[in-house]
Amino acid sequence: MARPVVGIIGNHHLINDEYPTHAGGTMNSEAVAEVAHALPMVVPADPRYVSVADLMEVCDGFLFTGGRPNVHPEEYGEAATEAHGAFDRARDSVVLPLIRALVERGQPFLGVCRGFQEVNVAMGGSLYPEIRDLPGRMNHRMPPDGTLEEKFALRHKVSFTEGGPFHRLFGAREVMTNTLHGQGIKDPGKRVVIDGVAPDGTPEALYVDGAPGFTLSVQWHPEYRAARDPVSRPLFEAFGRAVADWAASGRPEVLRTA
């Protein structure tokens, strides 16, 4: 029996600063294949090559990945500044309408880091350009030096709502996560429920209220060593079950949110 297909949203990348590609991190494909038990397929996130309708027809679920470029602030009604960093308008134009269509159809997706922020913006929310500049906030950015293991090390707790979907999924009110992001949620979008926060109040976990399918999204990077991490594994396993259910029947596996 064929595995369900998960579209992994790719990022524009230049090899040797000159050869353009659409790339996806190996750890994303590994988590999808080995933990979610689905077929990973990297999506060129550019409306010149793909459409929302085609993607929803070909893929059973989607992983909205992290990426160095940020969602353009015009997508949430603000002007771009130097603090907002680099952008990928092609990805914005594919992913934001795709998320809204998936929410309404009940087709499963998992948002990670930039993907977490994209879900919020797609639902009408806004972002802070730089979390570490806010009073009382910690520096959530990736450490500039060190090995990959050191950069993805567990750095802070995330606390979940009592009885919420993340609490039930992990069987714990608090977990330890990595943190590798500069931006973060400012105003939650319509129907976006913040279900987990860092010790400094930064939103770290969300779902879309009333959505008929899997919409869990996180600010950290659970794809890193997902098969061995006690937090990452159940998240990708739950996502995999939702994707398999969609592939088998076209009906979403509803994760209760109340």
Which CATH number goes with the domain that contains 196?
3.40.50.880
Give domain status of residue 118, yes or no: yes
Give domain status of residue 257, yes or no: no
What is the band of 256 on the pLDDT scale with cuts at 50, 70, 90?
A: very low
Q: In this predicted model, what pLDDT tens digit does every residue of 156-204 receive, in sequence order?
A: 999 999 999 999 999 999 999 999 998 999 999 999 999 999 999 999 9
Give domain status of residue 175, yes or no: no
Q: Which domain holds residue 41?
A: 5-132+181-249
Asked if 93 contacts 100 with a C-beta cutoff of 8 angstroms, the reply is: no
Give domain status of residue 157, yes or no: no
Query: What pLDDT, on the 0 to 100 scale, is given for residue 67?
Result: 87
Give domain status of residue 171, yes or no: no
Instruction: Say how many domains are in the chain.
Output: 1
SS3 221: coil
Query: What pLDDT, on the 0 to 100 scale, is given for residue 257?
Result: 44
Give the bridge partners for 109, in sequence order.
62
pTM of the predicted model, to two decimals? 0.94
Backbone phi, then psi, for 36, in 5-degree steps? -80, -15
Give the residue numbers marked as catalytic: 113, 221, 223
Q: Is 27 exposed, middle or buried (0-12, 13-18, 19+ CB in 10 A)?
A: middle
Query: How far apart, in whole angstroms, are the C-alpha atoms of residue 200 and residue 60?
Result: 36
Give domain status of residue 137, yes or no: no
Query: What pLDDT, on the 0 to 100 scale, is given for residue 80?
Result: 84
Give domain status of residue 69, yes or no: yes
Give domain status of residue 258, yes or no: no
Q: Which long-range contacts (CB under 8 A, 24 or more apart) does 86-94 make?
A: 88/11, 88/12, 88/45, 90/12, 90/45, 90/46, 90/47, 90/48, 91/9, 91/11, 91/12, 91/45, 91/46, 91/67, 92/118, 93/47, 94/9, 94/43, 94/45, 94/46, 94/47, 94/50, 94/52, 94/55
What is the amino acid identity at position 179?
Answer: T
Share of the chain above pLDDT 70, in %: 97
